Chain A
Amino acid sequence: MMSVTDLLMAIRPLHVCIGPTGHITQVGKSFCKLGVGNPTGARFLEVFEIMRPTKPASMSELRGLAGQVLRLRLRAEPGLGLRGLVVDDQAQGAILDLSFGIAVVDAVQRFGLTARDFASSDLVMELLFLQEAKSSAMAASFSLNARLNGARLAAETDALTDGLTGLHNRRALDGALSRLGKSDTEYAILQMDLDRFKQVNDTLGHGVGDTVLKRVASILRSQTRQDDLLVRAGGDEFVIVCPGLTDHLRLTSLAAGLIRDISEPAKIDGQDVTIGASIGIAVSIKAERGDPASCVSRADVALYAAKRSGRGQHVFWSADMGDTLAELVLPVP
């Protein structure tokens, strides 16, 4: 039968034998990889620091830990945690059988360890295999998720955008109104119709009509604030939602500016094109803040009133107009 120390050398690459004086008498062959040289002859507690379960100060205290799992580290490599079992060698000394535990992945990177640095019965190769395989699979999963998320964002944006003008569409308007309905924010809604747009479309063609709509969109963008929601609700109908803006003077200046710029004669494809715009404005009323749909309906009533009173104008909704188009009392022309 071979000696215990030879047996340990053959099968445990990370063991430490400690003599009765507390000095290291033998270490496993993988220690030379750990950057501490050969610690044989050095005092064990000067090379290693035991963290748990207690910090032994003497050899007898260390032997007292026999049978327990220790957590320790090399003083020269404090970042690398080790695990080990203490065995009393029955000759006033002790044997420690060490392993890296979960720190093995870092240890392999840090010290360039190979399969031969581990006991062949050790599952470390399976652990490392799994770690690499998992990283590759996770990378593939992340890349799939990133692509799917990109596609989802693009689809969401498309679903809320008017393809021709790049403004928001009616679906985006519904979402914004429902959010406004739940918040405490006051707001104004402007309903805008273009005047004489149908004639332009009919006489100069849809190409010119599309260009007119894009020009209107760019005027809307240049005159409104970042927070305002610009919507092409269909055909030549636009809706502007202005959160936090209820001041009549500022709304008047906004509406007048829009009508003025839109009414400027423009040259499109060599043709002189002149259109106009009418705007109806409704401002949320504190008590009724919860119902943005009625505010939209009132802006619609005001828009109708603006058109009836000669186009190219803006009109604020007032209570005498009624809440819906059906109630609108039209002045006798």
Chain B
Amino acid sequence: MHGLIFRTLEAFISDAFGRDHWTLAVALADLPVTSFEAMLQYDATYFPKLLAACAQDLERAPSVILEDLGAYLITHQNHASVRRLMRFGGDTFSELLHSLDDLPGRTRLAVSGLELPQVHVRQPIPQHFTIHCSGTPTGFGHVLVGLLRAMSDDYGTLAVLDHCGVRDGAEVIEVQVIETAFADDRGFSLADSALAHSA
């Protein structure tokens, strides 16, 4: 499994709860690794163990941790590039949702070897989207919920997102876009990339 996934969990737990909690989680998970590098590969069985250990230590459900991790990726200044790369998906939150089918492909373009579940988006009725995620890592749907919730804020769009569990082997997310100009759009300029890199 790609080190970026582990590194992200490590950064999130350390930044949001403190390094001690990460140290404790690693000890609870009984892994031979104590810190992860973004650009190395690790045994995929580590991930569920680590997540369970974090859940035990922080006394919250794994799904909640994953959702917060998604939001953290968009809002934390250390990961400004993730927000920017997501904004390449479109000018509006709805366009971004429509671009999610391309997410695994875009991710592979960005970091070869980083495999994400296949994402399939449908819009059965206007302003209502259904997102299916199939494949590993399981629980990615929860990360996507947190990430999209933060992105809707970023676009200034009011949207309600729900993880509806697993149907036919795919995680299902329901999104309802309520108001597109609910708050200020944080904005996105192609020309800001230099700023994002120095962050």
Interface residues of A (CB under 8 A from B): 108-109, 111-115, 125-126, 128-137, 139-141, 144, 147
> Are B37 and A109 in contact, with the CB atoms below 8 A?
no
- Whether B191 pairs with A135 at a CB distance below 8 angstroms is no
Given A129-B85, A144-B37: A139 touches B197 (CB 8 Å cut-off): yes
Q: How far is the CB of A13 from chain B (nearest CB, A)?
A: 14
Could you say which of B110, B189, B196 contacts A130, with CB atoms under 8 Å apart?
B110
Residue numbers in B under 8 Å from A134 (CB-CB): 110
Closest residue of A by beta carbon distance from B112: A137
The chain B residue with its CB closest to the CB of A128 is B190
The answer for the CA separation of A134 and B109 in the assembled complex, in Å, is 9
Which B-chain residue is minimally distant from A114 (CB atoms)?
B190
Q: Cβ of A130 and Cβ of B39 under 8 Å apart?
A: no
In the assembled complex, which residues on chain A have CB atoms less than 8 Å from the CB atom of B40? Answer: 144
- Give per-residue flags for B80-107: 1 if the beta carbon is below 8 A from chain A beta carbons, else 0: 0100110010010000000000000010
CB 8 Å contact bits of B167-199 with A (1 = contact, 0 = none): 000000000000000000000011101101100
When distances are taken between beta carbons in the complex, the residues of chain A under 8 Å from B37 are: 144, 147
Cross-chain contact A136 with B88 (CB below 8 angstroms): no
- The answer on a CB contact under 8 Å between A112 and B191 is yes
| B81 in complex: contacting residue of A113, A126, A132, A147, CB < 8 Å | A132
Least Cβ distance of B153 to chain A in Å?
Answer: 21
Chain B interface residue count, CB cutoff 8 Å, equals 21
7 smallest A-B Cβ distances: which pairs?
A133-B110, A136-B81, A129-B88, A140-B38, A144-B39, A112-B191, A108-B190
Tell whether A140 pairs with B39 under 8 Å between CB atoms, given A109-B191, A131-B193.
yes
Q: How far is the CA of A112 from the CA of B192 in the complex (A)?
A: 9
- Give the residues in chain A near B39, CB-CB below 8 Å: 137, 140-141, 144
A279 to B69, CA, bound (A): 66
A112-B189, A144-B38 known; A125+B110 contact, CB < 8 A: no
* Number of A-B residue pairs having CB atoms within 8 Å of each other in the complex: 63
Min CB distance A33 to B, Å, is 11
Chain B interface (Cβ within 8 Å of chain A)?
Answer: 4, 37-40, 81, 84-85, 88, 91, 106, 109-111, 189-191, 193-194, 196-197
Contact at A113–B190, with CB atoms within 8 Å? yes
Min Cβ gap A135→B in Å is: 5
Q: How far is the CA of A137 from the CA of B197 in the complex (A)?
A: 10
How many angstroms between the C-alpha atoms of A108 and B194 in the bound complex? Answer: 11
Select one of B4, B38, B91, B193 contacting A132, CB under 8 A. Answer: B193
Known contacts: A115-B91, A128-B88, A129-B85. The answer to whether A136 contacts B191 by CB under 8 A is no
Q: How far is the CA of A147 from the CA of B39 in the complex (A)?
A: 12
Contact flag A109-B193 (CB < 8 Å), given A132-B81, A141-B39: yes
Contact of B84 among A126, A132, A147 (CB under 8 A): A132
**What is the bound-complex CA distance between A112 and B189, given in angstroms?**
7
A72 to chain B, nearest CB (A): 23
Min C-beta distance of A151 to chain B, whole Å: 11
Known: A132-B193, A140-B4, A144-B38. 4 other contacts (CB 8 A): A114-B189, A129-B110, A132-B81, A133-B81
In the complex the two chains form, is B190's CB within 8 Å of A135's CB? no
Complex Cα distance A147/B106, Å?
A: 28
Determine the distance from Cα of A128 to Cα of B192 in the docked complex, in whole angstroms.
Answer: 12
Query: A260 CA to B4 CA in the complex, in Å?
Result: 61
Assembly CA distance A120 to B196 (angstroms): 25
Q: Which residues of A contact B38 (CB under 8 A)?
A: 140, 144
Question: Can you pick out 15 interface pairs between chain A and chain B where the beta carbons lie within 8 Å of each other?
Answer: A109-B191, A109-B194, A113-B190, A113-B191, A115-B91, A128-B190, A129-B88, A130-B109, A130-B110, A131-B193, A132-B85, A132-B88, A133-B111, A137-B111, A140-B39
Query: Which of B37, B84, B190, B194 has the most chain A CB atoms inside 10 A of its CB?
Result: B190
Pick the residue among A128, A129, A136 that contacts B197 (CB under 8 A): A136
Q: Which residues of B contact A133 (CB under 8 A)?
A: 81, 85, 106, 109-111
Known: A114-B189, A140-B39. A129 touches B91 (CB 8 A): no
Bound-state Cα–Cα, A231 to B98, Å:
68
CB-nearest residue of chain A to B114:
A137
Bound together, the chains give a CA A109 to CA B40 distance in angstroms of 32
Residues of B close to A131: CB separation below 8 A: 193
B180 vs chain A, min Cβ distance (A): 18
> With A113-B191, A114-B190, A131-B193 in contact, is A137–B91 under 8 Å at CB?
no
Residues of A within 8 A of B190 (CB): 108, 112-115, 128
CA distance A322 to B97 in the complex (A): 87
**Chain A residues closer than 8 Å to B110, beta-carbon distance:** 129-130, 133-134, 136-137
Please give the distance in Å from B177's CB to the nearest CB on chain A. Answer: 21
CB-CB under 8 A from B84, the residues of chain A are 132
List the A residue with the shortest CB-CB distance to B91. A115
Considering the complex, give the chain B residue whose CB is closest to the CB of A135. Answer: B197
